[in-house]
Each structure stands twice: as structure tokens, then as C-alpha cells.
Amino acid sequence: MSGPRLNLRDVKTLIVDRDHFTASLVGQMLRGFGMEGPAILGTAAAARLYLKSAAPDLILVEAVLPDEPSHELIAWIRHATPEPLRFVPIIVLSGYTQRSAVRAARDAGAHFVVKKPVSPKALFERIAWVARSERPFLETESFAGPDRRFGTKDPPDGAYKRPGDDERDLQRGCCRGCRPKCRADAR
């Protein structure tokens, strides 16, 4: 049985990736989801120039661009562009998901970091999650982006993959893997 449908026909997407083959492959996935052909650019500078005259509904960006790290581009989008572009969903695609890279993307205002190679199913799940998410957008002096706190919501595929995602944490509504300092333990 399939899940609820999501109409992505009129969604305009920007892909920023230095590897043209990967960008084309991701573009084919998006067209398979029903989106119109995405704009594909290879550098942050080209993306900045493009974003001055266009307003995509979704941005997919490679974590390491040839001219600057993607978190700098994301921070620019979140802080230096006008509404509604400032609020556009941003998904970072990366072959390297070290904690520091994920943290940099998250702290710059990305919605998700997705590990490459990405399957069509995984990419669609993240896009659907962003589309259906009710995460508020926060703006402070040092941060602009979606609320980084997920609370106790399940991941989109229902599978918990991190150490510490054990049944006791989930049953207590714990903040997943924070033991031994968990507030649920103090009750």
C-alpha cells in the first residue's frame, strides 16, 4: 500500500553541485517525482547570481562546493536574501556526513543533510517530510532556519538508526540517546 500522494508538479528546484553527473542524476529523480526540470549550477557564486533573479521552491546543494562550503551559501540565503527566498527548504547532499559537516549545515539553516549516494526513495522521503513538516522558522541574530528541535517525532521511514535509539528511550519520550543526562531519567 502506498502512502499519501504529493503533487510536486509546479515545484521549481535549484541543484548546486560541482559534479555534473550527480546533479543530472538527482535532476532525473526530481523529474521522476513530477517536478519540472531543475536549474543546475556548479558553484556557490553561480547560485548567488541565479538567486538574485529567481525564487526556487526547493534547493538541493552539495556540501562541498568548489568555491566555498555550502554552509556559507546557506547562511547567505538565510540572512541576506529577501522573503520568501529566505524561507526556502534547503537539503544538503553529501558523501561525507561527519558530525562537524552535519552541524555546520544545520547551524547555517539547512533542513536536512542527506548522505550520497542517495536513492530516489530516500530523496523523496526527505522532500515529502519538508513539505509536510510543521517546523517553525526561527530568526535570531546568530541563526535563521527551521527549528532544529524535532521533539519526539518519528523519522520519515520509521527506522531509528543511531545508537541510543533503544526501546526504553522511545517509550519514555526521551530525547533519543542523551543518556545518562536524560530528563526522563530524573522523573
* pLDDT confidence of residue 131: 85
* Integer Cα distance of 187 and 170 in angstroms: 15
Please say if the pLDDT value at position 113 is more than 70.
Answer: yes
Please say if the pLDDT value at position 8 is more than 80.
Answer: yes
Structural domains present in the chain: 13-146 (3.40.50.2300), 150-187 (no CATH)
Please say if the pLDDT value at position 72 is more than 90.
Answer: yes
* pLDDT confidence of residue 164: 54
Give exposure, 55-77, as e/b (b: 16+ Cβ within 10 Å).
Answer: ebebbbbbbebeeebbbebbbbb
Question: Higher confidence at residue 36 or residue 183?
Answer: 36
Q: pLDDT (tens digit, 9 = 90+) per residue, 157-175?
A: 767 666 555 554 444 444 4
pTM of this prediction exceeds 0.85: no
Please say if the pLDDT value at position 178 is more than 50.
Answer: no
Cell numbers representing residue 4 in the block: 499519501
Q: What is the mean pLDDT of the chain?
A: 81
Q: pLDDT (tens digit, 9 = 90+) per residue, 77-104?
A: 988 878 888 889 999 999 887 888 888 8
Banded model confidence at residue 38, pLDDT cuts 50, 70, 90: very high
